[in-house]
């Protein structure tokens, strides 16, 4: 059993800390946010993530998982320290490392033995080396520590499963001793022969960005193809399915829609492009991915206008506000773009999401938030499906039609069969399925 501190209780830190405690380690999750820690100490969650609450309660009850705002004490008490703070985008696309270095300064001042300092946060290539220099300049003389890169690959909505059943564990380190410590930390995964990739700090840091950039590019490509399919009457689902049968391509992330969002893909693609610029390389592909993705979000309102040309004073129902299903996260959600554009058109917006309405209310308190799907569509001139929640897949279209002013559906997630919906008397537009 290792004594571990995890600094940061967001999606990454809380899931990682809880998962590590479930592996049998003694873990203290640390955060300066007193409200978050108070919620966690009451056995509740400050975020919405399926399966996480039960795991938190289980390990807290077994005295393996603890929560505290005393970061200095948590650092001194731990042998292994994971940093899992946010690295959002700056105005020029670079990763903002202010929180990371603030935490690192506290770590440096509280080194009281040999410590293993592990970055879970997504950081630019070269950050690990900078952290080492930063700590040496501030730590007590004679301090012993090692910096390790251990990027996360968690999908919001599936984060607990992903932590317990990863495709791979990436460890960037400069010593075999540190590598062995990481094998012990992840012993539960090592024993079931989960692939481990041991490499240097810089390579581990780049692996994270490379993975997310590739997936974002794959989504963008299928959206570009869907837009072409729109123009010719081709069915993008058949195209994507057939592409996916090629083992070199695979079917994953070939799902056309309103563009990618969330806390990872947009900021990581921007950051990787900035990383390239820092060494004198301009990544035209990455910049194009970002540009096309923003255009894809805007294109959803253009589709709406094909069914409702004059939007002024119309009522539009938005089903889904989160950037994807099974999360309450609205960061860079396509819904944000749609809402802004609809507001500019002086549209009345009614909205429903099973999990994300509280988060969206913080940004747009003036929307009409509804109790369920059917409450949201009352007197609506059109419905826009923006998130692929399972409960949206089986709607009572007869009831929908009686409640709406006009039977118009913009299905940005292609949840429904166009022929079936049209046969029920609806005007229907999907993505790449004219």
Would you please indicate which residues are annotated as catalytic (active-site) residues? 264
Q: Contact 334/413 with Cβ under 8 angstroms?
A: no
CA distance 339 to 2: 47
Structure tokens at 209: 């960005």
CA distance 370 to 216: 32
Q: For the chain, how long is the longest CA-to-CA vector? A: 77
Proportion of the chain in helix, strand, coil states, percent, rounded to 5? 45, 15, 40
What are the Cα distances from residue 317, in Å, to 125, 288, 406?
43, 31, 11
Q: Contact 132/147 with Cβ under 8 angstroms?
A: yes
Structure tokens at 39: 């919620």
What are the Cα distances from residue 420, in Å, to 119, 289, 303, 385?
50, 33, 20, 16
CA distance 371 to 373: 7
Stated as kind and residue range, the H or E segment containing 20 is helix 11-22
Helices (H), 68-126: 71-77, 98-109
With a CB cutoff of 8 Å and minimum separation 6, the contacts of 372 are 352
Structure tokens at 184: 């012990």
State the DSSP string of 203-251: HHHHHHHHHHHHHHHHHHHHHHHHHHHHHHT-BHHHHHHHHHTSTTT-S
């Amino acid at each position: 059993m290792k004594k571990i501190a995890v600094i940061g209780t967001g999606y990454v830190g809380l899931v990682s800390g809880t998962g590590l405690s479930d592996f049998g380690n003694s873990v203290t999750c640390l955060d300066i946010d007193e409200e978050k820690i108070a919620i966690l100490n009451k056995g509740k969650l400050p975020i919405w993530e399926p399966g996480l609450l039960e795991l938190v309660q289980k390990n807290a009850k077994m005295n393996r998982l603890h929560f505290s705002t005393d970061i200095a004490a948590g650092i001194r008490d731990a042998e292994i320290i994971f940093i899992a703070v946010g690295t959002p985008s700056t105005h020029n696309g670079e990763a903002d490392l202010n929180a990371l270095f603030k935490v690192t300064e506290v770590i440096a001042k509280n080194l009281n033995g040999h410590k293993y300092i592990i970055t879970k946060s997504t950081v630019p290539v070269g950050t690990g080396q900078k952290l080492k220099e930063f700590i040496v300049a501030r730590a007590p003389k004679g301090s012993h520590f090692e910096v390790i890169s251990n990027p996360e690959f968690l999908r919001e909505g599936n984060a607990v499963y992903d932590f317990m059943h990863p495709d791979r564990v990436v460890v960037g380190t400069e010593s075999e001793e540190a590598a062995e410590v990481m094998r012990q930390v992840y012993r539960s995964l090592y024993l079931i022969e989960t692939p481990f990739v041991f490499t240097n700090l810089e390579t581990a840091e780049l692996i994270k960005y490379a993975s997310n950039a590739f997936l974002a590019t794959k989504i963008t490509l299928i959206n570009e193809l869907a837009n072409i399919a729109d123009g010719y009457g081709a069915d993008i689902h058949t195209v994507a399915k057939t592409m996916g049968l090629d083992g070199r391509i695979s079917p994953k992330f070939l799902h056309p829609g309103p563009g990618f969002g969330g806390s990872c893909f947009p900021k990581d693609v921007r950051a990787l492009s900035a990383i390239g610029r820092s060494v004198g390389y301009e990544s035209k592909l990455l910049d194009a991915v970002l540009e096309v993705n923003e255009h894809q979000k805007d294109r959803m309102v253009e589709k709406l206008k094909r069914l409702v040309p004059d939007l002024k004073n119309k009522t539009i129902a938005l089903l889904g506000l989160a950037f994807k299903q099974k999360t309450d996260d609205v960061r860079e959600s396509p819904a944000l773009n749609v809402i802004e554009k609809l507001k500019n058109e002086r549209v009345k917006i009614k909205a429903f999401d099973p999990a994300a309405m509280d988060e969206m209310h913080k940004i747009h308190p003036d929307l009409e938030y509804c109790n369920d799907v059917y409450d949201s569509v009352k007197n609506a001139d059109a419905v826009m499906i923006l998130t692929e929640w399972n409960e949206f897949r089986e709607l009572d279209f007869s009831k929908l039609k009686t409640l709406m002013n006009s039977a118009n559906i913009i299905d940005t997630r292609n949840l429904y069969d166009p022929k079936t919906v049209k046969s029920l008397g609806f005007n229907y537009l999907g993505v790449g399925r004219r």
